[in-house]
């Protein structure tokens, strides 16, 4: 399987193929399909009904909004007529001063109480309508009461009202005048005079109004101040919501329509499909996806189980193309799976047949040998002497497995040419392939052509111990036999010589071999064969454990998990744990404070020594802060800067750029101290810095 992350990102076309699933019946091959085939399937299922919104109209007098649908029924939404009024038709939720001066909706008594609408029950203390002829009077406690007219013959009547200051005198014809001091100055002021007085003499804050809420302090509302689902059609006036008010993630394109964006709460401009059939949801059941078509028939498609699997090592996961397994993960692996070479014990009896040998061209009677190049080959038995001890009875053919040899016998092919057998040495003289016939007094030898021939021997004979190496052509003539020496072929491969074994292995005259000190090197050791028990400094009981390390305890090394501020993964990657880096672990340049006593001219600030520079005394004359040894991301604090002078910023080399943040300037009035913070954005030769200034009172009591 390919590695998903290696797929090239591209733009799909209609002829692109998608991987399908196997035939559900298990009889067919995996299906593939193109994007065009899906388009054909969907369009064939949905038809081609072009129902779409083609216009919107409104009637402000009835509050109705009509949505014109081409190909279908128009839809009508009826709002209140207030939805079509401008904001000037409504009372403004601002401060009281603006409310009083609202020329559009002045809240006068006439605008609140209509003609002939003030009923007796509106008066304080009166609970009913009374009876015909009753009069309205006061009871002395601030309430009105209805009283009967007890003396209709006394013609006492109010014939005038005069004002003196804030006192009103009611002239009663036929009775005693009544003067009241109940009224105050405001009772005799016009609305214009009250407005002027309030504007000139009263200051309102939000604290002056106990029932003001959070919105009263805002100039405009944001998303956080609007409740979810609070904005409905009845609350929106025509033409009030523009594109800038919507959370749209891309730029508009002519003819595009709005749809829900990829992130929650966002919208995006997308190409109009020119149809009111659209995909409005995808659901999954097992390996089947259902595409919900708004206005049409849903479409389903069944994928293979791998389409919904994650990459991983679990039972339901899909392995990546570059995944690896350890041998322990393969439950049915054989003993040979973890070996690079097969030893004798790894080969079954009778498993090495003639066809398995590098030379399988044997003929009847030949034997297996090693040639001068070190390769296996079959040769005639007459070409080399084979000691009887090399042929044990168990190596005799199957139909002679019960025979046993005895001294003086030889092994030869039986009469049926089906196996070898032990037999007495009875070679007849005419069995030799010679060019002449045997006669008395002749011996078998080689002629000048190296062919077998019966030749005359004369009276010469070979005595005991007289056959020296010089008499044997494959031994070196000067062969010197000594204890512990071995026969080794010479560099030319033509002779055997007696040499002492040296190098990594030594040999005794008994044949015992010894590996010499410092002879075993790393490439000579088979993988996974050096166990902790073989290393004296490692605890014998140590076993490899994922994400563990070897740590000494004063005697040997043990296997422990790395804990504390740093952890380690199985691949050796280390991780600094959260909340483990403390201030005293940081480099001195980020934590230390440096004292600066020179307060005039150009002064070097070595940022490699610290990030906080404390100045002593007042600055004098033109003062240059020269930064050196700074690092990218380092924040440098310099305080307190006091005194009436000019402060310049520079670096020891290069052409730096210092960008000021905020509008606070250096305060040199002699009573305040300045604090300067400089952030190093990069530490190149022409470094960039951002800096800000702040002032604070030199006397803590001024804070």
Average pLDDT for 380-395: 53
Q: Which residues 6+ apart lie within 8 Å of 277 measured at CB? A: 46, 49, 293, 294, 295, 296
Listing DSSP states for 204-234 in one string gives: --GGG-TT--GGGG-SS--GGGS-TT---GG
CA–CA dist 353, 214 (Å, integer):
97
**Per-residue pLDDT at 5 exceeds 60:** no
Local structure of residue 248 (DSSP, 8 states): B
Asked whether 486 and 497 are in contact (CB, 8 A), the reply is no
How confident is the model over 122-138, as a mean pLDDT? 82
Band of residue 107 on the pLDDT scale cut at 50, 70, 90: low
Please tell me the distance from the alpha carbon of residue 388 to that of residue 405, in angstroms, as a whole number: 10
| pLDDT tier for residue 464 given thresholds of 50, 70 and 90 | low
Which of 509 and 294 is assigned the larger pLDDT? 509
Q: How far apart are the first and last CA of the chain?
A: 70
| Listed range (167-176, 272-281, 339-348, 499-508) with the worst mean pLDDT | 272-281
| Averaged pLDDT, 539-561 | 74
pLDDT at site 459: 53
DSSP-assigned beta bridge partners for residue 180: 168
Instruction: Find where tokens 């699997």 sit.
Output: 309
Q: How far apart are CA 493 and CA 115, in angstroms?
A: 139
Structure-block tokens of residue 467: 């056959």
pLDDT of amino acid 96: 43
User: Is the CA virtual torsion 550, 552, 556, 558 positive or negative?
Assistant: negative
Could you tell me whether strands 299-302 and 288-294 are parallel, antiparallel, or unpaired per DSSP bridges?
antiparallel
C-alpha angle 494/498/499, rounded to 5°?
Answer: 110
- Reduce the DSSP state of residue 382 to 3 states and report it: helix
Q: How far apart are CA 369 and CA 389, in angstroms?
A: 16
What is the rounded average pLDDT of the residues 535-562? 74
Query: Given the DSSP bridges, would you call strands 157-164 and 167-173 parallel, antiparallel or unpaired?
Result: antiparallel
- Residue 462 pLDDT: 60
Q: What is the largest distance, in Å, between two alpha-carbon atoms of the chain?
A: 201
Q: How confident is the model at residue 651 (pLDDT cuts 50, 70, 90)?
A: confident
pLDDT digits (tens, 9 = 90+) for 313-333: 777 777 777 777 777 777 777
User: What is the model's pLDDT at position 609?
Assistant: 83
Average pLDDT over residues 640-664: 81
Share of the chain above pLDDT 90, in %: 0
Q: Are 404 and 393 in contact (CB under 8 A)?
A: yes
Rounded Cα distance, 552 and 560, in Å: 10
Please state the rounded mean pLDDT for residues 111-122: 67
Q: Rounded to whole angstroms, how far apart are CA atoms 291 and 533?
A: 64
- Given a cut of 60, is residue 3 above it in pLDDT? no
Which residue matches tokens 């199985």?
570
Distance CA 534, CA 526 (A): 14
For position 422, what pLDDT does the model report?
78
In angstroms, the CA 693 to CA 680 distance is 15
C-beta of residue 439 within 8 angstroms of C-beta of residue 426: no
45 backbone dihedrals φ, ψ, rounded to 5°: -80, -35
Helix ranges (DSSP H) in 133-190: none
The predicted pLDDT at position 1 comes to 42
The DSSP string of 407-471 is TTEEEEE-TTSSSEEEEE----GGGS--SS---TTEEEEE-TTS-EEEEE-TT----TT---GGG
Which residue is it, tokens 């002779």?
495
Which one has a higher pLDDT value, 251 or 50? Answer: 251
Q: Give 6-15 pLDDT, tens digit per residue.
A: 566 777 887 7
pLDDT tens by residue, 623-645: 888 888 888 888 888 888 877 66
* Cα 496 to Cα 470: distance, rounded to the nearest angstrom: 12
Q: What is the pLDDT of residues 201-248, one digit of tens each?
A: 877 777 777 777 878 778 888 878 788 777 777 778 777 788 877 888
Instruction: Round to whole Å and give the CA distance between 553 and 329.
Output: 34
Residue 387 has pLDDT above 70, yes or no: no
Q: Which residues fall within 8 angstroms of residue 190, CB to CB, at 6 or more apart? A: none
Q: Which of 180, 189, 139 is nearest to 161 (CA)?
A: 180
pLDDT tier at 27, thresholds 50, 70, 90:
low
The continuous run of DSSP H or E covering 514 comes out as strand 513-515
How many CA atoms lie less than 13 Å away from 188 in the CB half-sphere?
A: 12
Over 50: is that where the pLDDT of 701 sits? no
Three-point CA angle 204, 208, 212, nearest 5°: 110
Average pLDDT, the chain: 76
Listed in sequence order, the residues at least 6 apart from 253 whose beta carbon sits closer than 8 Å to its beta carbon are 269, 271
CA distance 656 to 675: 21
Q: How confident is the model at residue 702 (pLDDT cuts 50, 70, 90)?
A: very low
Q: Which of 84-88, 114-118, 326-330, 613-617 has the highest mean pLDDT?
A: 613-617
Given this model, what pLDDT does residue 700 score? 45
Domain boundaries, the chain: 4-49+277-308, 469-514, 525-581, 587-702
Q: What percent of the chain has pLDDT over 70?
A: 81
pLDDT tens digits for 31-66? Answer: 777 877 877 776 665 555 566 777 788 888 888 888
How many residues are there in the chain? 703
Q: Tell me if 453 sits within 8 A of 436, measured CB to CB.
A: yes
Q: Which among 453, 423, 427 is positioned nearest to 438, based on CA atoms? A: 453
Would you say 648 and 611 are in contact if contact means Cβ atoms under 8 Å apart? no
Residue 392 has pLDDT above 50, yes or no: no
Q: Across residues 656-672, what is the average pLDDT? A: 76
CA–CA separation, 56 and 262 (whole Å): 28
pLDDT of 89 reads 65
């Amino acid at each position: 399987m390919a590695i998903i992350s290696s797929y090239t990102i591209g733009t799909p076309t209609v002829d692109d193929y998608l991987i399908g699933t196997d035939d559900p019946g298990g009889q067919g091959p995996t299906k593939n399909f193109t994007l065009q085939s899906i388009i054909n399937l969907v369009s064939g299922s949905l038809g081609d009904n072009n129902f779409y919104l083609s216009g919107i109209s409104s009637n402000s007098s009835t509050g109705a909004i009509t949505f014109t649908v081409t190909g279908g029924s128009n839809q009508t939404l009826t709002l209140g007529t207030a939805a079509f009024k401008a904001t000037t038709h409504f009372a403004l939720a601002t401060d009281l001063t603006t409310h009083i001066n609202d020329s559009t909706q002045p809240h006068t008594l006439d605008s609140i109480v209509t003609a002939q609408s003030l009923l007796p029950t509106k008066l304080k203390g009166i609970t009913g309508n009374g009876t015909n002829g009753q009069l309205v009077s006061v009871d002395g406690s601030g309430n009105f009461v209805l009283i009967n007219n007890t003396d209709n013959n006394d013609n006492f009547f109010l014939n005038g009202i005069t004002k003196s200051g804030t006192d009103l005198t009611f002239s009663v014809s036929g009775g005693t005048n009544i003067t009241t001091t109940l009224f105050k100055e405001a009772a005799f002021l016009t609305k214009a005079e009250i407005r002027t007085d309030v504007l000139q003499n009263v200051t309102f804050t939000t604290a002056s109004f106990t029932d003001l809420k959070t919105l009263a302090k805002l100039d405009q509302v944001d998303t956080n101040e609007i409740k979810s689902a609070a904005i409905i059609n009845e609350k929106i006036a025509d033409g009030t919501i523009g594109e800038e008010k919507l959370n749209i993630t891309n730029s508009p394109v002519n003819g595009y329509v709005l749809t829900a964006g990829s992130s929650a709460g966002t919208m995006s401009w997308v190409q109009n499909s020119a149809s009111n059939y659209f995909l409005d949801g995808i659901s999954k059941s097992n390996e089947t996806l259902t595409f919900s078509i708004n206005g049409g028939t849903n479409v389903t498609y069944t994928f293979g189980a791998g389409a919904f699997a994650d990459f991983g090592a679990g039972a339901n996961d899909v392995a990546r193309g570059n995944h690896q397994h350890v041998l322990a993960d393969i439950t049915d692996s054989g003993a040979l799976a973890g070996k690079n070479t097969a030893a004798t014990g790894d080969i079954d009896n009778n498993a090495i047949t003639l066809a398995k040998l590098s030379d399988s061209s044997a003929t009847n009677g030949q034997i297996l040998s090693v040639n001068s190049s070190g390769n296996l080959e079959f040769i005639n038995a007459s070409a080399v002497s084979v000691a009887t001890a090399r042929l044990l009875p168990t190596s005799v053919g199957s139909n002679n497995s019960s025979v046993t040899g005895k001294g003086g016998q030889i092994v030869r092919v039986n009469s049926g040419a089906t196996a070898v057998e032990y037999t007495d040495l009875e070679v007849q003289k005419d069995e030799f392939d010679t060019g002449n016939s045997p006669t008395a007094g002749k011996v078998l030898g080689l002629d000048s052509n190296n062919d077998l021939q019966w030749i005359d021997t004369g009276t010469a004979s070979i005595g005991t111990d007289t056959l020296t190496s010089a008499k044997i052509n494959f031994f070196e003539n000067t062969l010197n036999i000594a204890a512990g020496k071995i026969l080794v072929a010479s560099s030319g491969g033509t002779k055997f010589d007696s040499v002492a074994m040296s190098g990594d292995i030594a040999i005794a005259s008994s044949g015992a071999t010894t590996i010499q000190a410092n002879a075993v090197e790393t490439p000579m050791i088979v993988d996974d064969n050096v166990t902790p028990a073989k290393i004296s400094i490692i605890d014998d009981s140590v076993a490899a454990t994922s994400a563990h390390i070897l740590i000494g305890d004063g005697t040997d090394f043990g296997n422990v998990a790395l804990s504390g501020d740093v952890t380690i993964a199985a691949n050796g990657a280390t991780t600094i744990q959260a909340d483990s880096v403390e201030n005293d672990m940081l480099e001195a340049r980020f934590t230390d404070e440096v004292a600066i006593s020179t307060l005039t001219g150009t002064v070097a600030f070595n940022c490699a020594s610290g990030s906080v520079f404390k100045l002593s005394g007042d600055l004098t004359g033109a003062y240059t802060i020269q930064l050196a040894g700074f690092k990218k991301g380092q924040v440098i604090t310099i305080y307190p800067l006091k005194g009436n002078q000019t402060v310049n910023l520079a670096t020891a080399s290069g052409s730096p750029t210092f960008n000021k943040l905020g509008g606070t300037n250096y305060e040199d009035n002699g009573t305040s101290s300045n604090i300067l913070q400089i952030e190093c954005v990069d530490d190149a030769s022409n470094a960039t810095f951002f800096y800000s200034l702040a002032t604070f009172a030199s006397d803590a009591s001024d804070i």
